[in-house]
Amino acid sequence: MKLVITMSRRFGTGASVIANELSKRLDIPVYDKAYIEQKLGENAYDNEAEAIRKLAESPCIILGRCASDILKDRMNVLNIFVCADKEDRIKRIMELESLDREAAQKKVEDTDKERAAYYYENTGKTWGDVNDYHMILDTSELGVDNCANILMQYFERLEYI
């Protein structure tokens, strides 16, 4: 099966680490905001939705960009939402970006607010609604490192890979 994985996430959950690990194991690319915006800047596509649909013609992982909604009618798409406790996310951002607690908390809150607004503006839906995803991964409970293993076992069991 030509598996396409969409991964929506709260800021600071470690979802990009999970996506990159899956990318290595499955030997498929990860596309994120920067990559898609680069393609739009090159005028390869007229809009993000068109770019995402084109990228999803081959196996890949797409981080954010409302891909779960854009690709909702495709049978080969698995929509994942990655969450974590706010305190864990703040600590992760403090460490990754060498920020103090107050700055990291502000960044987590502002980024989540921006993502929620972007999702609503482009889909009319509430970002993070469990009904829009096939799977929710909580990295506070499962650990960032374990999530790729959990997903690989799931893919193998369902014979996606």
DSSP-derived secondary structure letter, 47: S
Report d(CA 111, CA 94) in Å as an integer: 14
pLDDT digits (tens, 9 = 90+) for 14-40: 999 999 999 999 999 999 999 999 988
pLDDT digits (tens, 9 = 90+) for 48-92: 999 999 999 999 999 999 999 999 999 999 999 999 999 999 999
- Long-range residue pairs from 139-146, CB within 8 A, at least 24 positions apart, any chain: 139/13, 139/14, 139/15, 139/18, 139/82, 139/83, 139/84, 139/88, 140/83, 140/84, 140/85, 140/88, 144/13, 144/14, 144/17, 144/18
The pTM assigned to this predicted structure is: 0.93
Report d(CA 72, CA 133) in Å as an integer: 9
